[in-house]
Amino acid sequence: MTLKVRAVLFAFILFLANSGGFALAQTARVKVGNYKNEIASRAEFNGLKRDYKKGRFANIPHMMFVIDRTNDTVYYINSNRYRFHSEFARATYLSLDSGESFFQKNYINENRRFVLGTLAFQPTVEKFTYEFWEGDLVTPTIVTYAHERLTKTFFAPLNFKPNSLRQEQISETLKDVPRLLLSDIEPESTFDVLNPGKAVGVLRLVDHLPPDQPFEREDIVIFKEVPISVTPVRGLITTRQGTPLSHINLLAKSWNIPNAYFKDADVKFKSLVNRWVTLTITDGGLTIEPAEKIVSSPEELKRSRELQVPKADLEYRELTDLDQQRAKDVIRFGAKSANLGEVAHASLPGVVVPNGFGVPFACYAAFAEKYKIEDRVLELLNDEKFHHDAPTRVKKLAELREFIQKAEFDPKLREEVLAKAHRMFEGKGVFVRSSTNAEDLPNFNGAGLYSTVPNVKTDDALIEAIKTVWASLWNFEAFEARELARIDHLAVYPGVLIQEGVNADSAGVMITTNPFNRQDPGGVYINAKRGLGIKVVEGKRVPEQIIYRTRSDSVQVLTRSTEDTILTFDVNGGVKEVKIEPNRAVLTDKTARKLSRVATAIRRIFKGKHQDIEWLIVGEQVYIVQSRPYIDLSL
């Protein structure tokens, strides 16, 4: 065959491959067993299906399908033979496109030739579903068309399974297309590993919050409610599902202790409560077994030999605008304030960092010296009862905080703070936030340990809020966490960030990796709620949770927010709780993409280090109020 004849023949094949009127010529090229145009029985389905073997998709039989809109032909693909739709399309000369060209034509284009999806049997509900990739920009017309073609060529009833917020919203408008949501299909999860590991300690069961007594450092605790925070312990188990970014989970990560959700742990392990046990958490499950008492592990003994001494510049006393701070100023203002200053300085397009200023460590140091705070702390540290009895520590630390709150504020500093606040925030409420030098250390992030006072509106309230932040250095939870991390208490100083309050329409946290999948470091995880985001990181209710995948530009909704109230500014200062309609979407796909782009840009500011970012949205405007390193010891 001459080169010219070969070229003509190949051109003819291309013509057939792209011409809707030549389905017979197309199918003539396909070997028997590559696909079927109709599925008449479960046996025929089983002949083409494959099974997922990992994760939440285990043992779900499924097969891919392609619908050619030019001739209304359905191809049920032999999904053991072909891994991807594009692979099947090229192998059968339906399309010779690949890569970005195939993606754009068949997932983005509304007037696409091919409709690509997956058909599966859901064993938990014993129903068949069809679905599209979560990044597929299907339209109501495409979904309706696919439903019509599939139901005419498949032996059993079919239900549309939306895989994104956009698809879910479309499904709500299609009254003649039955749907099954993920929440309808999957049984309630009974186990989720949040931080694998092994620990030996005393098992405790907490039926309600707050607990009847403080925790000892050797405790392994089963919570029937997800707590807002917890003092250092050796292991954590919750019987109600939380989120990866609740403070309790962040703390467990930073302490590198085993942590998991196990639905019936309170029942299964009740006989071991108040006994020494060995807790083992792996990706495959959780075990608790009786153990001999072990007072100190080799790792604890190693840590106990030396204290961490965080750096602090106690000479710098100037109240400094946020946009004048840089990450290097962590030794003057603390990580929260200095890192946010770095974000403000970057002037990212479409992003606002609310105005604010920092009160440096030196101001607290002068206050502490005047009132002999260090002497008081040394007295406590040398008290054996304080050292070995948790209730005593709770009582004595509360007394120290009360002393700080009642002490007189330096008149000159008061004048400087109020003058600057009047110039910067006249008539506006402010957030008074903690920012210490004992946060975001390499093995200690300090999430949720110190106090923030929201929507402060009067002069006296502002000064009291600064003292509240200073006093929170001696919160019981903060003291216990520093003790576990072997941080020198007398080297820790609180800075204060005073920042314009933003009464958010929605708010939350995002991190620049996927905490559910260690093999998906390019994902961005977002959780969100309506109103102020104060409760998102507290784990009291499950927020809306979204994974955005950068490479595929896809948005996957994991959960809807279960909040039935929001927090909003009170006109008289502080915040108030307002009832809302639950189970409504917080973010659109467009907004999730916007937030993800912001997260990626912020990560670049910090030289590619994964970030834990607090955000707010008002209207279409994105505000950033915190960026800190994300500690995930599994990465």
Q: Shortest CA distance to 612 belongs to which of 191, 299, 246, 205?
A: 246
Local confidence band at 34 (pLDDT 50, 70, 90 cut-offs):
confident
523, 513 Cβ separation under 8 angstroms: yes
Local confidence band at 600 (pLDDT 50, 70, 90 cut-offs):
very high
Q: What is the pLDDT of residues 565-590, one digit of tens each?
A: 878 888 888 888 888 776 678 898 99
Most confident of the ranges 52-56, 378-382, 532-536: 378-382
Residue listed under structure tokens 């039926």: 207
Q: Shortest CA distance to 494 belongs to which of 439, 443, 448?
A: 439
- What whole-number distance in Å separates Cα of residue 425 and Cα of residue 322? 13
Q: Could you tell me the CATH superfamily of domain 320-500?
A: ATP-grasp fold, A domain (3.30.1490.20)
pLDDT of 223 reads 92
> Measuring CA to CA, how many Å separate 385 from each of 284, 396, 478?
42, 11, 19
Q: In this structure, what token pair is assigned to residue 542?
A: 């499950």
33, 82 Cβ separation under 8 angstroms: no
- What whole-number distance in Å separates Cα of residue 373 and Cα of residue 480? 18
Q: What is the pLDDT of residues 469-482, one digit of tens each?
A: 999 999 998 898 88
Local confidence band at 205 (pLDDT 50, 70, 90 cut-offs):
very high
Out of 118-132, 188-202, 491-505, least confident range = 188-202
pLDDT of 15 reads 32
Peptide bond into 411 cis (omega under 30): no
302 has a pLDDT exceeding 80: no
Enumerate the β-bridge partners of residue 578: 566
Of the chain, the end-to-end C-alpha distance in Å amounts to: 57
pLDDT of 82 reads 86
615, 598 Cβ separation under 8 angstroms: yes
pLDDT of 633 reads 44
Q: Shortest CA distance to 524 belongs to which of 602, 448, 444?
A: 602
- Edge-first strand order for the sheet with 544-549 is 351-352, 621-629, 611-618, 506-511, 523-530, 544-549, 554-559
pLDDT of 105 reads 83
507, 240 Cβ separation under 8 angstroms: no
Local confidence band at 21 (pLDDT 50, 70, 90 cut-offs):
very low
pLDDT of 103 reads 77
Topology of the domain covering 191-303: Glucose Oxidase; domain 1 (3.50.30)
- What whole-number distance in Å separates Cα of residue 117 and Cα of residue 163? 11
245 has a pLDDT exceeding 80: no
Local confidence band at 142 (pLDDT 50, 70, 90 cut-offs):
very high
Percent of the chain at pLDDT exceeding 70: 85
pLDDT of 549 reads 86
Q: Shortest CA distance to 519 belongs to which of 635, 353, 370?
A: 635
132 has a pLDDT exceeding 60: yes
| 206-233 mean pLDDT | 82
Most confident of the ranges 32-41, 462-471, 503-512, 607-616: 462-471
Out of 121-125, 176-180, 420-424, 439-443, least confident range = 439-443
Enumerate the β-bridge partners of residue 235: 220
pLDDT of 249 reads 74
Local confidence band at 228 (pLDDT 50, 70, 90 cut-offs):
low
Number of alpha carbons in the 13 Å side-chain half-sphere of residue 604: 9
Q: How many residues can be counted in the chain? A: 635
Topology of the domain covering 506-629: D-amino Acid Aminotransferase; Chain A, domain 1 (3.30.470)
Out of 12-21, 245-254, 498-507, least confident range = 12-21
- Cα 518 from chain centroid (whole Å): 13
How do strand 73-77 and strand 61-68 relate by DSSP bridges? antiparallel
48 has a pLDDT exceeding 50: yes
Query: What mean pLDDT is reported for the chain?
Result: 83
- What φ, ψ does residue 477 adopt, rounded to 5°? -60, -40
436 has a pLDDT exceeding 60: yes
| 611-635 mean pLDDT | 84
- What whole-number distance in Å separates Cα of residue 91 and Cα of residue 82? 9
441 has a pLDDT exceeding 80: no
pLDDT of 192 reads 83
Out of 169-173, 413-417, 579-583, least confident range = 579-583
- Edge-first strand order for the sheet with 191-195 is 191-195, 259-262, 235-238, 219-223, 197-206, 276-282, 285-290
DSSP assigned state of 444:
B
Most confident of the ranges 228-232, 438-442, 544-548: 544-548
268 burial (CB, 10 Å; 0-12 / 13-18 / 19+) is middle
Cβ neighbours, 10 Å, residue 597: 18
613 has a pLDDT exceeding 60: yes
What are the residue ranges spanned by the domains of the chain?
3-185, 191-303, 320-500, 506-629
433 has a pLDDT exceeding 50: yes
| 416-432 mean pLDDT | 94
| 327-344 mean pLDDT | 93
557, 165 Cβ separation under 8 angstroms: yes
Q: What is the pLDDT of residues 71-111, one digit of tens each?
A: 899 999 998 888 788 888 877 778 767 666 787 788 888 88
| 193-215 mean pLDDT | 87
Signed CA dihedral, 396, 398, 399, 403: sign only: positive
215: amino acid identity, one letter: F
Residue listed under structure tokens 């009832």: 579
503 has a pLDDT exceeding 80: yes
Number of helices (H) and strands (E) in the chain: give both, helices first. Answer: 21, 28
Q: What is the pLDDT of residues 267-285, one digit of tens each?
A: 999 988 888 899 999 988 9
pLDDT of 550 reads 82
Total-model pTM: 0.61
Q: Which residue has the higher pLDDT, 634 or 359?
A: 359
Cβ neighbours, 10 Å, residue 267: 9
Task: Reduce the DSSP state of residue 592 to 3 states and report it.
Answer: helix
208 has a pLDDT exceeding 70: yes
Local confidence band at 393 (pLDDT 50, 70, 90 cut-offs):
very high
Most confident of the ranges 135-139, 506-510, 532-536: 506-510
HEC-encoded secondary structure of 484-534: HCCECHHHCCEEEEEEECCCCCEEEEEECCCCCCCCCCCEEEEEEEECCCC
Local confidence band at 13 (pLDDT 50, 70, 90 cut-offs):
very low
pLDDT of 229 reads 67
| 367-377 mean pLDDT | 94
